[in-house]
Amino acid sequence: MPVRKIVTFGHPVLHRAALTIRTIDQEIVDLARDMVLTMHAAPGIGLAAPQVAAGKRLITVDLSVGEKAEELIILINPEFLGTDGEAVSEEGCLSVPGVHEDVRRPGQVAIKGIDLEGNERVIEAEGLLARVFCHELDHLEGRLFIEHLSPLKKTLIKKRLKKTLENDGRE
């Protein structure tokens, strides 16, 4: 059961929309399992398939970071049914290491998706869970949380991240 490498800012898969999953086959089940292991090992509370270089519409969320199995959420092809309110809170991202900024998001969301057994799930969430859903669904659209920042802040962060990539010899 491998922990996958989390790709970071600059990787092409993070900047394009993920593909709809048409069939829940062993490849998808394995990807979901690996994503849960990777998310817990990081440790993180949410992970989208593009973050492990898989351009598919799959997310894993676990606010307990592996402490409570019943809190694990795995959704295929998740989408918003509605959003309400507004909340500002600090966010970070496993794919944007070292960056934490306040981001404005809906305070409440309703989403639907399909679980690994093929059942449709509708989840209403608020607070941190709503924020994580917004963050992970952004990943499925090829957006990073820094896209929600002011133009100046976004430019400064992107310059810093690109410089880090150059210094690491990855670009």
Q: What is the pLDDT of residues 126-148, one digit of tens each?
A: 999 999 999 999 999 999 999 99
What is the reported pLDDT for 2?
80
Selecting among 27, 136, 147, 166, the annotated active-site residue is 136
What residue numbers bound the domain in which 105 lies? 12-167
Residue of 160, 165, 164 lying closest to 149 (CA atoms): 160
Find the CATH number of the domain harbouring 90. 3.90.45.10
Mode of pairing for the β-strands spanning 73-84 and 87-93: unpaired
| Assigned domain for 72 exists | yes
| Assigned domain for 25 exists | yes
Taking residue 88's Cβ as centre, other Cβ atoms within 10 Å add up to: 11
What is the reported pLDDT for 1?
53
Output the pTM of the full model: 0.94
Strand-by-strand arrangement of the 73-84 sheet: 46-48, 58-61, 73-84, 108-114, 120-126
What contacts 24+ positions apart, CB below 8 Å, involve 32-35? Answer: 32/58, 32/60, 32/74, 32/116, 33/1, 34/1, 34/2, 34/3, 34/4, 35/4, 35/60, 35/74
Question: Does 84 have pLDDT greater than 70?
Answer: yes
What's the mean pLDDT in 15-33? 98
What's the mean pLDDT in 80-107? 96
| Assigned domain for 5 exists | no
Question: Does 26 have pLDDT greater than 90?
Answer: yes
What is the reported pLDDT for 148?
96
| Assigned domain for 4 exists | no
- Residue 91 is a catalytic residue: no
Ordered alpha helix ranges (H), the chain: 26-41, 127-140, 151-167
| Assigned domain for 111 exists | yes
| Assigned domain for 102 exists | yes
* Number of compact structural domains in the chain: 1
| Assigned domain for 134 exists | yes
| Assigned domain for 7 exists | no
Residues ≥6 apart with Cβ < 8 Å to 67: none
